[in-house]
Chains A and B, each alone.
Chain A
Amino acid sequence: MKGTKFKIDEFESDLIKATGLEITVGRIVEEEWEEILGPTPMPSVTDLRKWDFALLNRYKPMYAPLCDLCCLCTYGKCDLSDGKKGACGIDIGAQQGRIVLLACCIGAAAHGGHARHIVEHLIEEHGDMPIDMGKNVEVEAPLVRLIAGIMPKKLSDLLEPLEYAEGELMHSLSATHTGQEGYFTDFESKALHVSMTDQLLMEIADVAQISALGFPKGDPGAPLVDIGFGSIDTKKPVILCIGHNVVPGAEVINYLRDHDLYDKVEVAGICCTAHDLTRYDKGAKIVGPLSKQLQFVRTGIADVIIVDEQCVRADVLQEARKTGAAVIATNDKICLGLPDRTKDSPKDVIDNLLGGAPGALILDAEKVGEVAVRTAIKLSETRKRRALNVVKEAKKCIQCGLCIRECHNNLDIPRGMEKAAKGDLSLLSEIYELCIGCGRCENVCSKEIPIVSLLGGAAKEITRKERYKVRSGRGPIQDTEIRNVGSPIVLGEIPGVVAFVGCPNYAGSSKEIAEMAEIFLSRRYIVTTSGCAAMDIAMYKDEEGKTLYEKYPGNFDAGCLSNVGSCVSNAHIAGAAIKIASIFAHRNLRGNYEEIADYILNRVGAVGVAWGAMSQKAASIATGFNRLGVPVILGPRGAKYRRTYLGRPDKSEDWMVYNARTGEKVQISPSPEYLLYVAESKEEAIVSIAKNCIRPNDTTKGRQIKLTHYIDLHKRYFGKMPEDIAMYIRTEADIPITLKAEIMKILKAEKWEPRITPDPTLLERLCRKKEVK
């Protein structure tokens, strides 16, 4: 009910007499939710600052500036090196915090813009539909409940938390203005804050599209769908969707269905839009992750390219021109300088595109569907796909070496060219496998060789066979799945939860992420994934020709691989951690962020891995998980985010918690050791993942199995027993039984003393008894 105002002219009781009393009420809501409202519904920028400081006190930000100048205002450039301050007074620490905050704001804004668009669009198109996350999902939107303190029932209920997040984003972003915040931990606190709202925004977007578009609803058996260049039928007209917002792509499918064209046109996607297209219709194809964008556009297979939002190459229009494909921009975030044809008749727009216009901006998804399909059908009849003569092009190379110097991954393109010029394409083909598809080599090539196209041309035989299976995004984790794993976790049968997420900016082979996933799957960890990482996990087959999705079931369970979906589906991974607190400990979620984050940090042995994190969204996603108490491990390129959150195991005073049973402060093992950590190699990451699943609440059986894997992996990759093992043994019962003799010897040498296992918390208010002094 909208606001109301009422007036009491005269009121008199024994205590009070009032005249001309006016009471205004903003909104009247009918409420069926009995849960008590926690201390921080819709927290402001500073409401959770204390929690942030508790985290930052243990996990101190470590900065590795890419640049020690500040160029953000006209005072600058200001040199901030060697303790110098800028003209505004800022020092290098605060400046790094500021840049991190800026990145997180950009990331949250991208999800926020997406969420705003999709919620409004879906309400307009489908009406105010009820929120439905499927059977066995009692807590429909854990983050909305936790952060906003409301229980959404229908799509329009998502507008209030959306508005809240937008407001927080504005406050957070404003703090980066010159002359605002001046201290690094406060910048970090704001980064944590805006990244928390980022999680909220992701959840809002995915909950809305799952409810309204009929995506799988927490279904472990979501269909296996095709992924890879080779899965696309190039004989048909091909429409390629790039980005993250499924709405225009879904309208393409609707148009095909409505006009009996469903089997006649291929609809394929790159990046998260592709995931969501398969969630909408299992017949849609996934080309691959973001790293395949330039490669695939260059193949000329697509007749029409639809771009929506986020992670779309800025030069997509120029690239499409080279192949004769038409580009349709569909979202206010990406207009590409194209004329706005939203109000024009489809026929006019199609004629224009067929007549050679490079593209059109159409901000009406339904119209996009029609224009894309009709244009693609026509264009496919006339457009010729040009074949590239790799050898001839390679012969142009003069071995200047500028390309290898420009390459992120130092790929030896000159030698590849040299061999190719002699007719041997093997090295270029190998380089293709390692290429992240950025195209910077071409910018510097003194002979203007289309290097990326050559790589693709050399690997043509491989790419043609690139056909794999990925499980379509299932959405949320069912409550019953969480219950199922409770007992095996405490009995020491499941060592932890590992989430592989993020972009494909790898320092090595994209196969590494699948290799890592398989190691933890075969060790019966719970493995979950999303986004581009979920795609790269699919692009790897074992000796029997099976992908991991065909080999391991899609449940949230030991030795299972669950793909939650696109970037915005990351919210369900956070949601699963949150639900553990409500399911096992009956902790209230409603507006109760700090207590739940404390619960997760101290009890839920989950680790996020963003092996190829690239974007600002990946920064805010990781930081959002950090505030919730989940450690994140980044791949080598993650160092370029310039900031990590590292614990110091050598400082025992940093590893104290309250024992909620007694109120006493007690020592714990340094776990999780990091909140945000950059691993330099796959091996380092694997060992670190196993180690960071350790939590202070572990039962002795749980600790045994976690240590068994940590030690086994450490021995396997580093050839010896980890040096810090004694720190992780609380009692003899924690020692893996097969290693008892070996470890007892170490404990003796280190004069080890047993410790208790507390009911751990960083929040004094949660203690049952106060400390007796």
Chain B
Amino acid sequence: MKIPVDVSVVHEGERIRKEDMYVELGGPKVSSKGELVRVRKPGEIRDGNVEVEGPDFDKLKEGGRYPFAIFVEVAGKNVEEDLEAVIERRIHDYCNYVEGFMHLNQRYDIWCRLSKKSYERGFNTLKYLGQALITLFKAELPIIEKIQVTFITDEKKVEAFVNDARKIYEARDARARALSEEEVDTFYGCVLCQSFAPTHFCVITPDRISLCGSINWFDGRAAARVDPKGPNFAIPKGELIDEVNGEYSGVNKVVKERSQGETERFYLHSIFNFPHTSCGCFESIAFYIPEVDGVGVVHRDYIGETVLGVPFSTLATQTGGGKQVEGFLGMAIEYMRSPKFLQADGGWNRMVWLPKSVKERVIDDIPAELRDKIATEEDATDIAALKGFLKERGHPVVERWREVEAVEVPELEVMPVGAPGGIKIILQNAKIHAEKVIIKKIK
């Protein structure tokens, strides 16, 4: 059965406009739709089989919108339930490789279209789509030994399917939330960015997503399973050296190897002493603000100046390039949702400033009592205003100021962003002319 259209990554960006669509499956105007991947026992799967429950393309009316479900079942020695979500996200990519087929969103929100052109070229059954999915899944994820695909367009059946799927999504999310560094013995490393930043690499744990925000622990696990020698690899976490900072012997060992000897140790949850390094594609930066002894965050899309008086781009020059710079940490915004978010530095209790749009994104993860104590650009655009704001709202860092005043702790060594103190004179190409230089032996 030869698929009558091209299947290739080059079709990924293709959008099918309303005028060009043959039918729409799922989408905002249809209430029941969804997709799901489940791991099965090998005996439960008819490998390569595609079923269509309900009317197929040739039975659907042109221009119509229909309920739709995609159900993929897989089996394999190394395929475990934890990888379901990762495999499921590929459905989106692979559907879009099919010329004239568009797939948007995920889970219970999918929105697909088939183009008139592809239908006319003979793409008249979902079996072709199933066949493409099966081929692509097996080619990219050879750990999948058996796979079957079921498409559902029958309204009642889609409804029932989605109801069941929702329970599975919820259970999966609950498991992902509960999973922590303590519960696993393996973290994952990512060296994709070494193609541009040769000494940087990311440590990905259940509590710490890659700093670009693209690869979580499950993604890392799946990729490492598929290609253990590839850019995502397993890191046995080893001994827990420092619980608060998040320092592990296994991580340190790999840090040395993979950073080409540039870095010796990582604290996974601190911006001080031995912070995690970054490449250049971090979504945001956590930065220390010595004047208030607090931490600020700014993200890449923030236009304008941070509370330090400099924009993201200036702070970013201090961060990145695989260099460990105390007081600056490149990170994903998602990391702010981690229960271990900068726990060594006080976590949210130390967070004093962040852009409003980021605050809105993570508001549910900010402890309720701190939500109105953390400033945004609307509350403070300079240090003086920030100090006033924190004092007025009774932010926990204010307590630290008193401690500092009382105990006089030594100043933290943090790279200043503004003008440095003192000057240095460098004599470049200095020509000193001395008519006679006499060297005398000292008796």
A→B interface (CB under 8 Å): 17-18, 20-26, 30-32, 34, 135-138, 478-480, 482-484, 486-487, 489-491, 522-524, 559, 580, 582-587, 603, 660-661, 697-702, 704-705, 708-709, 712, 733, 736-740, 757, 759, 768
What is the bound-complex CA distance between A365 and B186, given in angstroms? 70
Q: Which residues of B contact A491 (CB under 8 A)?
A: 192, 214
Please state if A700 and B193 are interface contacts (CB–CB under 8 Å): no
27 A-B contacts, Cβ less than 8 Å apart?
A21-B434, A22-B432, A22-B434, A24-B431, A478-B313, A480-B312, A480-B313, A486-B196, A487-B193, A487-B212, A487-B281, A523-B10, A524-B12, A580-B280, A583-B316, A584-B193, A585-B199, A585-B322, A586-B197, A586-B321, A697-B196, A704-B9, A708-B10, A736-B8, A737-B139, A738-B8, A738-B9
Please state if A584 and B430 are interface contacts (CB–CB under 8 Å): no
Give the shortest distance, in Å, between B199 (CB) and chain A (any CB): 8
Please state if A586 and B196 are interface contacts (CB–CB under 8 Å): no
What is the bound-complex CA distance between A522 and B199, given in angstroms? 34
Partner of A490, one of B192, B304, B321, B431: B192
Q: A584-B196, A697-B196 are in contact. Are A31 and B426 (CB under 8 A)?
A: yes
What is the bound-complex CA distance between A583 and B199, given in angstroms? 13
Known: A22-B434, A30-B423, A700-B231. 14 other contacts (CB 8 A): A135-B313, A137-B313, A480-B313, A480-B316, A490-B193, A583-B280, A583-B321, A585-B199, A585-B322, A705-B9, A712-B10, A733-B227, A733-B230, A740-B139
B54 at the interface (CB under 8 A from A): no
**8 A-B pairs closest in CB distance:** A586-B321, A486-B281, A584-B280, A584-B196, A487-B212, A487-B281, A697-B195, A737-B139
B409 at the interface (CB under 8 A from A): no
Please state if B212 and A603 are interface contacts (CB–CB under 8 Å): no
What is the bound-complex CA distance between A698 and B419, given in angstroms? 39
Q: Which residues of B contact A712 (CB under 8 A)?
A: 8, 10
Interface string of B203-242 (1 = CB under 8 A from A): 0000000001110000000000001001100000000000
What is the bound-complex CA distance between A736 and B213, given in angstroms? 24
Look across to chain A and name the residue whose beta carbon is closest to the beta carbon of B135: A738
B271 at the interface (CB under 8 A from A): no
Please state if A18 and B196 are interface contacts (CB–CB under 8 Å): no
Q: Which residues of A contact B279 (CB under 8 A)?
A: 486, 584
Q: A34-B420, A708-B8 are in contact. Are A585 and B197 (CB under 8 A)?
A: yes
Please state if A759 and B194 are interface contacts (CB–CB under 8 Å): yes
Q: Which residues of B contact A704 (CB under 8 A)?
A: 9
B97 at the interface (CB under 8 A from A): yes
Look across to chain A and name the residue whose beta carbon is closest to the beta carbon of B190: A490
Please state if B195 and A490 are interface contacts (CB–CB under 8 Å): yes
What is the bound-complex CA distance between A34 and B318, given in angstroms? 12
What is the bound-complex CA distance between A700 and B426, given in angstroms? 46
What is the bound-complex CA distance between A699 and B195, given in angstroms? 7
What is the bound-complex CA distance between A22 and B431, given in angstroms? 9
Please state if B321 and A138 are interface contacts (CB–CB under 8 Å): no
Interface string of B308-341 (1 = CB under 8 A from A): 0001111011001111000000000000000000
B255 at the interface (CB under 8 A from A): no
What is the bound-complex CA distance between A737 and B144, given in angstroms? 14
What is the bound-complex CA distance between A14 and B201, given in angstroms? 51
Q: A491-B214, A585-B198, A738-B139 are in contact. Are A699 and B192 (CB under 8 A)?
A: yes
Please state if B13 and A20 are interface contacts (CB–CB under 8 Å): no
B→A interface (CB under 8 Å): 7-10, 12-13, 97, 135-136, 139-140, 192-199, 212-214, 227, 230-231, 260-261, 279-282, 300-301, 303-304, 311-314, 316-317, 320-323, 419-420, 423, 426-427, 429-435, 437-438
Q: A24-B431, A584-B320, A660-B198 are in contact. Are A708 and B313 (CB under 8 A)?
A: no
Give the shortest distance, in Å, between A148 (CB) and chain B (any CB): 13
Q: Which residues of A contact B139 (CB under 8 A)?
A: 737-738, 740
Give the shortest distance, in Å, between A288 (CB) and chain B (any CB): 31
Please state if B193 and A486 are interface contacts (CB–CB under 8 Å): yes
Give the shortest distance, in Å, between B104 (CB) and chain A (any CB): 16
What is the bound-complex CA distance between A559 and B13, given in angstroms? 9
Q: Which residues of A contact B311 (CB under 8 A)?
A: 135-136
Give the shortest distance, in Å, between B286 (CB) and chain A (any CB): 16
Look across to chain A and name the residue whose beta carbon is closest to the beta carbon of B439: A16
What is the bound-complex CA distance between A384 and B135, given in angstroms? 72
Give the shortest distance, in Å, between B427 (CB) and chain A (any CB): 7
Q: Which residues of B contact A138 (CB under 8 A)?
A: 313-314, 316-317
What is the bound-complex CA distance between A491 and B219, given in angstroms? 13
Look across to chain B and name the residue whose beta carbon is closest to the beta carbon of A493: B12
Q: Which residues of A contact B423 (CB under 8 A)?
A: 30
Q: Which residues of B contact A26 (CB under 8 A)?
A: 429
Q: Which residues of A contact B430 (CB under 8 A)?
A: 23, 25
Give the shortest distance, in Å, between A122 (CB) and chain B (any CB): 25
What is the bound-complex CA distance between A483 and B301, given in angstroms? 10
Give the shortest distance, in Å, between B311 (CB) and chain A (any CB): 6
Give the shortest distance, in Å, between A8 (CB) and chain B (any CB): 10
Please state if B212 and A484 are interface contacts (CB–CB under 8 Å): no
Q: Which residues of B contact A702 (CB under 8 A)?
A: 195
What is the bound-complex CA distance between A586 and B328, given in angstroms? 14
Q: Which residues of A contact B198 (CB under 8 A)?
A: 585, 660-661, 759
Look across to chain A and name the residue whose beta carbon is closest to the beta carbon of B258: A661
What is the bound-complex CA distance between A22 and B436, given in angstroms? 12
Please state if B7 and A738 are interface contacts (CB–CB under 8 Å): yes
Look across to chain B and name the residue whose beta carbon is closest to the beta carbon of A707: B9
Q: Which residues of A contact B316 (CB under 8 A)?
A: 138, 479-480, 483, 583
Q: Which residues of B contact A23 (CB under 8 A)?
A: 430, 432-433
Please state if A486 and B13 are interface contacts (CB–CB under 8 Å): no
Please state if B192 and A709 are interface contacts (CB–CB under 8 Å): no
Give the shortest distance, in Å, between B255 (CB) and chain A (any CB): 15
Q: Which residues of B contact A660 (CB under 8 A)?
A: 198, 260
Give the shortest distance, in Å, between A141 (CB) and chain B (any CB): 15
Q: Which residues of A contact B196 (CB under 8 A)?
A: 486, 489-490, 580, 584-585, 603, 697
Look across to chain B and name the residue whose beta carbon is closest to the beta carbon of A757: B195
